[in-house]
Structure 1
Amino acid sequence: MVRKIGLRYFKKTFLFAFILSIIIFLPFQRVLVIEDAKTNKLLAYLPLHRNKDTFEISYTHSIHLSNVVETYTVLKDGTIRQIELTYEDTAIGMPSNAEKGEIFKLEDGKYHLLNMRRDMPSIYMRTAQVVGTHRIISNNHELDLAEVIPPGSLILLTEQRLALWELWKGVNIVGRST
């Protein structure tokens, strides 16, 4: 009788531990990961949702010192697609016209490059060291990258699925620190 109770208790405990392990370690949450490009250390992440997988990178252009906003969407296969670019000056490093299928317009003193379909597997980016800041904006939340990343750092942005334990060790940039 004692053996049956002990075996039943062991089975229930094992099943509970197994299910808990799956919940904690199985990658399920689709996120835009910001990691150190040299060490692959998770620095921050942005949860992606089915209809809200668009984000912006906003920064001050280092030469003409005006604001630039790049808009991206993350496709279901993890591809990052640039869909829009907004800026104030067509000086060095900024486009002065549109490529095939894109729309280039001037509105309210800003240049807009629309209908972009520039796909990439990831984005390598060096954060501002001297001039301006880099910010990531999504779902009306904004993160100044200098808050979590040292100036001049090389970072990598990719789409990944993270498990609960990975989510707990990063910084969720939509307002909750984990």
Structure 2
Amino acid sequence: MKKYRLIIMLSFLVTILTLLFLSLIPSQKAVVFTKEDSGEIVAYLPLQEKQSFEIIYTHSIHKTKVIETYVCKQQKLKQIALTYHDPAVGMPANAGPGEKLVIKDGIYTISNMKRTFPFIDMRIGRVRANHRIGYVGKVYQLKRFFRPGSWVRMSVQSLNKVQQLKGVKING
């Protein structure tokens, strides 16, 4: 009888350790928002492979919509497009080398961008910026997850189950 109990307890212990180990293996690629540069995960947006997402905001000077389009490539953010209404202060007047600028109905779109970033720091707008993230046809207001005026760092990470439990899933 003691031998039987020992086998059951060892099996239980092995099962628990296996589950614990599996929960620490990174399994979900996501756009992760951390509090400043602390590494503390506040929120994350799970991504499917090769899916693009957008950061959408209202420009503080022009008061027009700006859309920055990104994909995640090799744990980096790669900007692939920029759409805006006014090439004045803070916005490009032309495309860079290898990029393409199209102006249609007063809207400027730069495509074929290949700018990569390990992370992007941003301040969540207090008044008019209304920062949003667009993904697979849905748009989520970032002020629902972050205090307006706060500094967040956006990066690409592979999250394990424990990290996913610590942050707020944006599209969930």
Q: Please classify the TM superposition score into its range, dividing by the shorter chain length.
A: over 0.9
Q: 1:87 aligns with which of 71, 79, 84?
A: 84
Helix, strand or coil for the counterpart of 2:48?
Answer: coil
Which position in structure 1 is the counterpart of 2:62?
A: 64
Identical columns (%): 36
Which position in structure 2 is the counterpart of 1:3?
A: 2
User: 1:142–1:173: 8 Å Cα contact kept in structure 2?
Assistant: no
Measure, in 1, the Cα distance between the counterparts of 2:92 and 2:86.
9
Number of residues of Structure 1 aligned to a counterpart in Structure 2: 172
Measure, in 1, the Cα distance between the counterparts of 2:110 and 2:126.
27
**Which range moved further: 134-143 or 38-47?**
38-47
Measure, in 1, the Cα distance between the counterparts of 2:62 and 2:125.
14
TM-score, structure 2 normalization: 0.94
TM-score, structure 1 normalization: 0.91
Report Cα offsets for 1:13-55 as digits up to 9, x if no partner: 1111012112322221111101111543222101121132x11
Unaligned residue ranges in structure 2 (runs of 5+): none
Matches within 5 A, 1:98-117: 98-117=95-114
Measure, in 1, the Cα distance between the counterparts of 2:10 and 2:21.
16
How much has 1:4 moved relative to structure 2? 1.6
Unaligned residue ranges in structure 1 (runs of 5+): none
Q: Which runs of 4+ in 1 moved over 6 A?
A: none
Measure, in 1, the Cα distance between the counterparts of 2:148 and 2:121.
15
When the two chains are superposed, the root-mean-square deviation of aligned CA atoms in Å is 1.3
Which position in structure 2 is the counterpart of 1:151?
A: 148
User: 2:57–2:67: 8 Å Cα contact kept in structure 1?
Assistant: yes
Measure, in 2, the Cα distance between the counterparts of 1:61 and 1:40.
28
User: 2:50–2:71: 8 Å Cα contact kept in structure 1?
Assistant: no
Measure, in 1, the Cα distance between the counterparts of 2:152 and 2:36.
5
Measure, in 2, the Cα distance between the counterparts of 1:130 and 1:18.
49
Measure, in 2, the Cα distance between the counterparts of 1:17 and 1:85.
48
